[in-house]
Amino acid sequence: MKNLIYLFVALLFLISCASKDTDMGNKKEIAVAAQGRGEGYYNSGQYTAALKQLLEAYKTIPNDPYLNNSLGLVYMAKNRDDLAETHFKKALNLKPDYIQAKNHLGATYLRQKKWKSAIQCFEDISENLLYATPEMPLSNLGWVYFYQAMYGKAKTYFERSLEIRPNFLFAVHGLASIYIKTARYTIAKNFLHHALVKNPGAAILHSDLAKVYEALNDFNKAKKSWEVVLKLVPETSPLAREAEKRLFELN
């Protein structure tokens, strides 16, 4: 009789464990699905909807490095770099070789003007021979030095980035920004014309060219460039607002 009781208890225990495992498996599947929806919303620019889905997934799988990276990107999009930094750091703690998360962490440092931390991140990545897109950390290093008005050093990194990937937009914009900041407007104009032949849909380069024309007092061409910007970007984007402001002031 005792043996039957022990057997019955053991069966109940096994059924309970199996049920818990099944519940956990179902919860994880639901969380992964929510994560996928959140990343889809992020890619389409719906950041609030993305955050809602990713936080729902985070309740079940908080130690997923890829989920933490996605949360970091959404928080960056919502201008919460402090929260983004937290999640990128967690992603790296969970997966130390997660280079994309490290690059994103460097970007949060850059936006928060934590120059030394940003430089350390981007230098570590640029020295990693396994990283498939080394032009990105090199360009990011260029921006770190640009925002500190160290234009010579910034130029070196932008040029190194372009050696790896000619016409890389962030580095092209970086070089153009240096030429504008240092009042080399003719060089900037020629450089941008050449770059726009290869990338005519780059709104940021048209805005750079508009600034060059303004500096050269060629206001008709400046207005035409700002008008091109408005055609290329969403009406609610910061670049559209800048273009509208400049056109209003130039008319």
Question: What is the structure's pLDDT at 24?
Answer: 58
Is 42 contained in some domain? Answer: yes
Q: N- to C-terminal Cα distance for the chain?
A: 98
Where is average pLDDT lowest: 22-31, 60-69, 190-199? 22-31
Among 5-9, 20-24, 34-38, 192-196, which range has the highest average pLDDT? 192-196
Query: What average pLDDT does this structure show over 83-99?
Result: 96
Is 5 contained in some domain? Answer: no
**Higher confidence at residue 60 or residue 19?**
60
Residues 6 or more apart in contact with residue 140 via CB below 8 angstroms: 103, 106, 107, 110, 118, 122, 170
Range of the domain at 30: 26-132
DSSP collapsed to 3 states, the chain: CHHHHHHHHHHHHHHHHHHHHHHHHHHHHHHHHHHHHHHHHHHCCCHHHHHHHHHHHHCCCCCCHHHHHHHHHHHHHCCCHHHHHHHHHHHHHHCCCCHHHHHHHHHHHHHCCCHHHHHHHHHHHHCCCCCCCCHHHHHHHHHHHHCCCCHHHHHHHHHHHHHHCCCCHHHHHHHHHHHHHCCCHHHHHHHHHHHHHHCCCCHHHHHHHHHHHHHCCCHHHHHHHHHHHHHHCCCCCHHHHHHHHHHHHHC
Is 187 contained in some domain? Answer: no
Burial of 175 (0-12, 13-18, 19+ CB in 10 A): buried
Is 185 contained in some domain? Answer: no
CATH code for the domain in which residue 93 is found: 1.25.40.10
State how many domains the chain has: 1
- Sorting pLDDT into bands at 50, 70 and 90, what band is 2? low
21 by DSSP, 3-state: which?
Answer: helix
**pLDDT tens digits for range 151-193:** 999 999 999 999 999 999 999 999 999 999 999 999 999 999 9
Q: What is the pTM of this model?
A: 0.82
Share of the chain above pLDDT 90, in %: 81
Token pair for residue 42? 């992020």
Is 244 contained in some domain? Answer: no
- Rounded Cα distance, 6 and 103, in Å: 57
| Greatest pairwise CA separation for the chain in angstroms | 101
Is 137 contained in some domain? Answer: no
**pLDDT tens digits for range 200-244:** 999 999 999 999 999 999 999 999 999 999 999 988 889 999 999
Is 10 contained in some domain? Answer: no
User: In the predicted model, is pLDDT for residue 128 greater than 90?
Assistant: no
